A and B are shown apart, each in its own frame.
Chain A
Amino acid sequence: MIALLTLIAGAAGGLALGLVARPRRRATRRTSVEQPSATRQILLPFTGTTLSRRALDAAMRLAKVEGATLMPAFLATVPLHQSLESPLPKQCTIGMPLLEAIEQRAVREGVPVDARVERGRSYRHALSRLLEREQFDRVILSAADDPRSGLSGDDLLWAIDHADAEVMILRPAPQDTRVVSAGGLAGHF
């Protein structure tokens, strides 16, 4: 009988505590809504056979801190005489091993990864299609030293103006020679 009474008293006490605590939790939740929403998807577009190691490191660091998904995206260009939906196996032989290398590295570091591929008449067009199709919270772009490779300075400015996301442009540094390439793949791809 005593045990039964103790149980009932305990349950009532717990319920009372719960009722008291609930508004506090609500208050906490309200506070968090007022803060900027957590970044969930970080887009990391690339175009060639290599990707700046600095850009990947930055993207991984941010993804870890923010609990975000890293979305490496290979941008491919389609010549004008081909349909925009044409297969691009030749360019894929360059892009797919690099996507694999990025994904392997992200998985090893415990960063969720969800890759993308996009086509366009130019790299900017491909990026624009990708941004139209999906929502990203942050876009990390690497300014290349070589103006002939990848996204040009104009493309980067365009991204700042048009991306409905926070755009982060990493300047090339003279000592920044490290790159991620398909050579770093674990095993046979």
Chain B
Amino acid sequence: MTYTASYLAVAVFFLLGLALPVVALTAGRFLRPDKPSAEKSISYESGVDPTGDSWVQFNVRYYLFALLFVVFDVETVFLYPWAVVYDALRADMGLFVLGEMLFFVFFLVIGLAYAWKKKVLEWT
């Protein structure tokens, strides 16, 4: 299967995934009732009238997890090509290829340990 044909298939999957909800929701418009009332469109808050603003400020810990996620996601971007060429480079330059990744991961593990020690990984 060629490169172009494969990505054409990927494009078809995207378009089909987009088409299904669009078609279903449009078709549903002719089937479902539409009787809006003021009570119906109140935000749900366990049956009580909603108080205050819903778009509240969140605790900083969410942001820290997102940051850890980005850092480790970038790490995977290096780990994947490394894993793909591991055997080829192992034959070519010996265990140096393992050593360089150990070195790379070591620094990130220090980062993780630091976050662990600073109680960033707790959820309290």
Q: Do A and B come from one complex?
A: no
Q: Which residues of B contact A (CB under 8 A)?
A: none
Q: Which residues of A contact B (CB under 8 A)?
A: none
